[in-house]
């Protein structure tokens, strides 16, 4: 699986398409039936995209804006997108052009309640999430109840009420026709790679006619095998329980037989579905069994957190100054640097520049990293470590005034996560030209990564 920076970056553009007009009843279906399955974060992403599609009419924006609106890192946004795609509420299209990427998000309408509850996978998925009492209440809320006794349908048909005025109906104008977007008939399902040949081998044609395996019956068999995690050999028993006296396999009998077999042979508790673990963006290159080092944990953190949130944490939870926010946004949006790379750059400058972000110094290092095609936080950490002396010279060339620190001719110290030793300054070497606020900011940053004042543990 590709690392996250190859799948999605804050600088990537996107637009939203709403081919089917969603209604208030759709919103009720989404919150009542789908939110327990995909979670509140995924539903927040869906509602935000829905609002943008109705308000902006498909205008292009970038994911940095979406991340700020939702207040979540890019990793959680990507996981939410996968959850919506998997449940059938979102289709994603990607276009790459001139080194940049753009995405088209097409919102898909939810299934109507009757189809939802009739679907073996979705209904059991919901049952396992909310439990029997809540599931029953949802059925009573969304499914139309039967008519009270004594009522009969006396509605007139269309032909009984209307008649044509002319004998000829005008042909429709093809130029004014629109693409029809209807609700999906059922949850998209690719068959789960079910081995029907193995299923058939153990079933005598005298017991179960091959004609009974209609496309609808085979689709239901594959869905039930996936839901209950049953093998083709186990599904043979389900089929034998489900076959009726006419040799037919109906969907309802298959569902009932699978539920009975599962209760008798596997567990009395309802089966549960879980989302597949999302890809770990910064850990793709590590063996699964390898323990995370301190640098691994740091790289994972830097890949996942938005730059503005990182600045907020460094600032003790308070909002960072706008000039720093604008600099971070410029690195992401104008220069197209990945989030993890921007975070390393900002932290490096904060640590080596007395807790301050200097625009020219940051952009000079950013230009160097862009030329080196740095794409991940781990690559940025490595380059910052190997090129540290060069960057310190750039800092001096930038006209930074000399400090009152003794031993100013010594090489600047580097934190442990840049793998260089540091010489501890004496108590008399404290800086005199930096404000208490800047010093406190720098110390919070060093404390966050377990660094002592001189860079040693």
Distance between CA 116 and CA 32 in Å, rounded? 12
CA 366 to chain centre: 28
* Percent of the chain residues past pLDDT 90, beyond the cut: 17
- Tell me the pLDDT tens digit for each residue of 35-83: 999 999 999 999 999 999 988 777 888 898 898 889 888 888 999 999 9
What pTM value is reported for the model? 0.55
- Tell me the pLDDT tens digit for each residue of 234-292: 888 888 888 888 888 888 888 888 888 887 777 767 666 666 544 444 444 444 445 66
3-state class (DSSP) for residue 269:
coil
**Across 84-100, average pLDDT:** 90
How is domain 4-110 classified at the CATH fold level?
A: Arc Repressor Mutant, subunit A (1.10.10)
Where are the domain boundaries for CATH 1.10.10 in the chain? Answer: 4-110
Distance between CA 63 and CA 77 in Å, rounded? 9
- Tell me the pLDDT tens digit for each residue of 155-207: 887 767 776 654 444 555 544 444 555 566 666 665 457 788 888 887 777 77
Overall residue count recorded for the chain in this entry = 457
Banded pLDDT at 444 (limits 50, 70, 90): low
Task: Say yes or no to pLDDT of 306 above 90.
Answer: no
The predicted pLDDT at position 276 comes to 57
**Of 276, 305, 274, residue with least CA distance to 79:** 276
- Tell me the pLDDT tens digit for each residue of 362-387: 888 888 888 888 888 888 888 888 88
The predicted pLDDT at position 4 comes to 63
Which segment of 199-208, 218-227, 279-288, 446-455 scores lowest on mean pLDDT? 279-288
The residue among 292 and 336 whose pLDDT is bigger is 336
* Highest mean predicted confidence (pLDDT) among 145-154, 280-289, 434-443: 145-154
Distance between CA 351 and CA 415 in Å, rounded? 8
The predicted pLDDT at position 50 comes to 93
The predicted pLDDT at position 291 comes to 60
Banded pLDDT at 33 (limits 50, 70, 90): very high
List, in sequence order, every residue forming a beta bridge with 272; answer none if it has no partner. none
Which segment of 257-271, 325-339, 356-370, 393-407 scores lowest on mean pLDDT? 393-407
3-state class (DSSP) for residue 238:
helix
Q: Indicate the average pLDDT of the chain.
A: 76
| CA dist list (Å): 17 to 58, 83, 104, 185, 216 | 6, 18, 7, 20, 32
* Highest mean predicted confidence (pLDDT) among 7-11, 102-106, 158-162, 393-397: 102-106
Long-range contacts of 230-236 (CB under 8 A, 24+ apart): 230/258, 230/261, 230/262, 232/194, 232/195, 232/196, 232/198, 232/199, 232/202, 233/198, 233/199, 233/202, 234/261, 234/265, 235/194, 235/199, 236/199, 236/202, 236/203
Q: Are 398 and 360 in contact (CB under 8 A)?
A: yes
Which segment of 17-31, 46-60, 138-152 scores lowest on mean pLDDT? 138-152
| CA dist list (Å): 398 to 24, 188, 328, 392, 447 | 59, 59, 20, 10, 28
The predicted pLDDT at position 16 comes to 94
Distance between CA 356 and CA 164 in Å, rounded? 79
**Of 98, 76, 62, residue with least CA distance to 329:** 62
Banded pLDDT at 26 (limits 50, 70, 90): very high
The first and second tokens of residue 276, run together, are: 């597949």
């Amino acid at each position: 699986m590709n690392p996250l920076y190859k799948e999605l970056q804050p600088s990537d553009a996107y637009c939203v398409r709403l081919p089917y007009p969603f209604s208030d009843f759709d919103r009720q279906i989404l919150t009542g039936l789908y939110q327990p399955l995909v979670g509140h974060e995924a539903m927040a992403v869906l509602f935000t995209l829905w609002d943008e599609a109705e308000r902006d009419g498909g205008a292009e924006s970038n994911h940095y804006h979406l991340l700020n609106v939702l207040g979540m890192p890019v990793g959680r946004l990507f996981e939410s997108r996968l959850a919506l795609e998997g449940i059938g509420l979102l289709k994603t299209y990607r276009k790459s052009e001139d080194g940049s990427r753009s995405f088209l998000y097409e919102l898909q309408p939810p299934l109507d309640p009757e189809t939802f509850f009739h679907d073996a996978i979705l209904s059991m998925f919901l049952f396992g999430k909310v439990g029997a009492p809540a599931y029953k209440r949802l059925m009573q809320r969304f499914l139309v109840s039967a008519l009270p006794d004594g009522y009969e349908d006396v509605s007139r048909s269309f032909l009984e009420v209307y008649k044509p005025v002319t004998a000829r109906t005008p042909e429709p104008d093809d130029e004014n026709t629109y693409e029809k977007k209807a609700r999906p008939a059922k949850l998209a399902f690719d068959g789960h790679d079910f081995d029907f040949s193995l299923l058939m081998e153990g079933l005598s044609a005298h017991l179960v006619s091959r004609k009974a395996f209609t496309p609808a019956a085979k689709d239901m068999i594959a869905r039930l095998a996936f839901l209950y995690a049953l093998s083709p050999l186990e599904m043979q028993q389900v089929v034998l329980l489900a076959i009726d006296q006419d040799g037919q396999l109906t969907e309802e009998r298959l569902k009932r037989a699978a539920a009975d077999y599962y209760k008798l042979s596997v567990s009395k508790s309802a089966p549960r579905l879980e989302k597949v673990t999302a890809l770990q963006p910064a850990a793709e290159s590590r063996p699964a069994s390898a323990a995370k080092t301190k640098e691994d944990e740091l790289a994972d953190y830097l890949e996942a957190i938005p730059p503005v949130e990182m600045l907020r944490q460094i600032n003790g939870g308070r909002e960072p100054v706008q000039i720093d926010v604008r600099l971070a946004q410029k690195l992401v949006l104008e220069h197209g640097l990945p989030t993890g790379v921007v975070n390393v750059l900002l932290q490096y400058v904060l640590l080596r520049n007395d807790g301050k972000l200097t625009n020219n110094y940051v952009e000079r290092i950013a230009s160097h990293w862009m030329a080196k095609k740095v794409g991940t936080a781990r690559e940025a950490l490595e380059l910052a470590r190997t090129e540290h002396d060069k960057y310190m010279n750039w800092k001096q060339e930038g006209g930074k005034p000399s400090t009152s620190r003794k031993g100013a001719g010594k090489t600047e110290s580097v934190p442990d996560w840049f793998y260089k030793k540091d010489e501890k300054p004496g108590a008399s070497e404290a800086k005199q030209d930096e404000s208490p606020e800047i010093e406190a900011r720098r110390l919070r940053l060093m404390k966050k990564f377990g660094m002592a004042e001189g860079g040693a543990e």
